[in-house]
Amino acid sequence: MELRQLRYFIAIARCGSFSKAAAEVFVAQSALSHQLAQLEADLGAPLFHRTRRGVELTDAGRAFLAHATAILRQVEDAKASVRNAEGEPSGKVVFGIPHSASNALALPLLQAVRRELPKVELEITEELTGNLVPQLRSGQISLAVLFDDGTLDEFQSTPLLDERLSLIGAADLAAHPKKAVTLKQALALPLILPAHPHGVRPIIEEAARRHGLPPPNVVADISSVSILRTMLLAGLGYTLLPVMPLQNDIAAGTLCAVPVERPVLTRRLVLCASKHIPLSAASVAVARLAISLAEGLCAERAWQGGESVRAPS
């Protein structure tokens, strides 16, 4: 197996055809086909289905794509580490952020990297936390913000901040509470929550069990913030989330947020990296910047509902 074979394979998967991939990697189509055939023979499985419209990944191809991408990324990180040994950090860093945290962190982090690490190319990928974990494990992404649910021991983790959960719903709902609401009251309302086990769902269910309360009255499982927002604006229910994912609507007055008390619900965000895949100098620099940035956003109250967590790196 050769690195060029991995590059050719990824190009074919991205382009969906041999001719387009050959043009992208600047080789003859016959050479591209030959190298792919050798790779498939080495792996003992076909990686593509040939169709009238081009090619599609087989199940084996989809499984191999994640590994091929991770291998090439680690090769580039290794090269960058040598180049950066005595100079300014440079190279590509892929940073994973959950949907419900991207509104608070993505833009400030991009701006900070551009300002303070001009030679670093930052790629931010927004995913469900359940999708970020295997990508971080395999090396497809370098760093990820995850929610500390007690299952992150396989990663190097640095706490960033705690976020308080609020009850959020349409501002014109007649039954919407005007002040604080207890967890018992919130659980009885028609709730739209992320599907288990994503996001805040395990936190809410565990709090209910711990305090002897009935489970949440979930009327819809929605893991997309944009779809959740649409349902809230339509008055179809409430949600329990930090305020930042829906801050624009709350500020505009189209949604309303009230704190949950007795008990207060919080989630902890942590910055994670693999314990087994070395970070490039660029990734280390971005990690330090993200930790500092999160603390600053909390101190300035720009991350509403967030409280900084000081911990050793």
- Convert the pLDDT of each residue in 263-285 to its tens digit: 999 999 999 998 888 888 899 99
Q: What's the residue count for the chain?
A: 313
Contact 10, 65 (CB under 8 A): yes
* Identity at 20, one-letter amino acid code: K
**Half-sphere exposure of 22 toward its Cβ, with a 13 Å CA cutoff?**
13
How far apart CA 164 and CA 53 sit, in angstroms, is: 49
Taking only the tens place, the pLDDT of each residue in 222-258 is: 988 899 999 999 999 999 999 999 999 999 989 999 9
User: What was the pLDDT predicted at 85?
Assistant: 58
Q: Among 4, 13, 270, 307, which residue's Cα sits nearest to residue 143?
A: 270
Interatomic CA distance for residues 95 and 286, integer angstroms: 9
* Structure confidence at residue 264 (pLDDT): 92
pTM of the model: 0.74
Determine what percent of the chain falls in helix, strand and coil, rounding each to the nearest 5: 45, 25, 30
Could you tell me the two tokens for 89?
């950090």
Separation between Cα atoms, residue 23 and residue 228, nearest integer Å: 42
Q: Which domains does the chain have, with CATH numbers?
A: 3-70 (1.10.10.10), 88-160+268-308 (3.40.190.10), 166-264 (3.40.190.10)
* Of 19, 302, 13, 16, the residue nearest 161 (C-alpha): 302
